Amino acid sequence: MADKRLTTSVAIIGGGPSGLLLSQLLHLNGIETIVLERRSRDYVLSRIRAGVLESGLVALLEEARVAERLHREGEKHGGVEIAYRGESLRVALDELTEGDVVTVYGQTELTRDLYEARDAMDGVVIHEADNVQLHELDATSPFVTFDRGGETTAIHCDFVAGCDGFHGVSRSMLPAEIIRPFERVYPFGWLGVLSETPPVADELIYAGHDRGFALCSLRSRMLSRYYVQCPLEDNISDWSDDRFWDELRSRLPTDVANGLVTGPSIEKSIAPLRSFVCEPMSWKRLFLAGDAAHIVPPTGAKGLNLAASDIHYLFRAFVDFYKDDDEGGLQAYSEKALARVWKAERFSWWMTQLLHQFPESSAFDQRIQQSEFDYLKSSHAAQVALAENYVGLPY
């Protein structure tokens, strides 16, 4: 028996950018929400994540009225560099598309903006919610229970939005007989370093090399984020700062390596890579979004952007339901979201295949990889395809 009872229209599980963005958009359309987050607010804001935003996500943030600081501090990039074994190609995103660009703005800052917007509107975000359980999802009035401060609270709602990530509770509530998981686990990870140093280039550099993949990215003019491919069994203790910088230099084109400014790391982590899709993304009164339903390798910067397209479809479906009593959007949500998910999965897989060294790679595979880059470098059509996917396919 719950100690307390709350009511809302949509209970949102997960207080990361997906859950907060959905809550903000629904609030602006007069739809009540309560957001539950397992961690503290400080913990959520301490997570370092990607920061390359598609134009579709930027437009969605504008609609949510949280894009003011992004436009002031974010950097618009009209191109991206692909390097392979010493050769380089700049893909002019804006010229190859209809003027589309990407915006570099840290996910932590985006989340901070969403928190501040929720605070300004007295949005209900409950942190440190333990033992979250979803109940009666196949009924007209589902409810969610959670523990906090020694008491159990029940939230009665119309719908539940599962935005609680790959390890959250929401996906586990789909019946085993209907769920179809698709997964590929990659045999390497990314070692990432954050440093208070000027970025080595004005645009992102994705580099393939015989020693493995490398990525040069940035958060601001004095905050750089770099990655190198590493074995999954490596530990952070294996990688001193000096070893990291030496390895990064070895994988970059000579002119880029010569311009690299190094310094002490202020954050260092190793992340595994996987591709994962859960079908369907909804069941009865439960709707999954973001990492709760799918994971992409970070190659191509699609994780956060793919979550945003889920939120776009889901938020509009909820608005149709509450304003027009139209259930069509909710019924079509999973199919519509998955159509875009699989396109992003394909692109992320392709970028990963192009630029990483695979342990089982044969001499034939190496030649195919080289030919893939050569074709990209020589083909306008191939560059258009990369640019269209990188800036984001339309919603």
Residue 206 annotated as catalytic: yes
Longest dimension (CA), the chain: 67
Q: How far is CA 200 from CA 205, 226, 241, 269, 326, in A?
A: 9, 10, 17, 20, 51
Identify the active-site residue in 294, 302, 312, 336: 302
Identify the active-site residue in 17, 142, 297, 298: 298
Cα distance between residue 52 and residue 44, in whole Å: 19
Residue 77 annotated as catalytic: yes
Cα distance between residue 52 and residue 100, in whole Å: 13
Q: What are phi and psi of 338, to 5 degrees?
A: -65, -30
Three-class SS of residue 388? helix
Three-class SS of residue 32? coil
Cα distance between residue 338 and residue 340, in whole Å: 5
Cα distance between residue 169 and residue 54, in whole Å: 28
Q: What letter does residue 358 receive in the DSSP assignment?
A: P
Cα distance between residue 200 and residue 184, in whole Å: 32
Q: Residue 132 corresponds to which tokens in the numbers above? A: 């979250």
Three-class SS of residue 151? strand
Q: Interior CA angle at 340 toward 336 and 345, to 5°? A: 140
Identify the active-site residue in 84, 186, 206, 226: 206
Q: Interior CA angle at 48 toward 43 and 49, to 5°? A: 120
Q: Is the dihedral of CA 319, 321, 325, 327 positive or negative?
A: positive
Instruction: Return the amino acid letter for 280.
Output: P
Say if strands 151-156 and 4-7 run parallel, antiparallel, or are unpaired.
parallel
Instruction: Name the one residue in this structure whose structure tokens are 């229209």.
Output: 9
Residue 298 annotated as catalytic: yes
Identify the active-site residue in 17, 27, 77, 227: 77
Catalytic residue ranges: 77, 206, 298, 302, 390
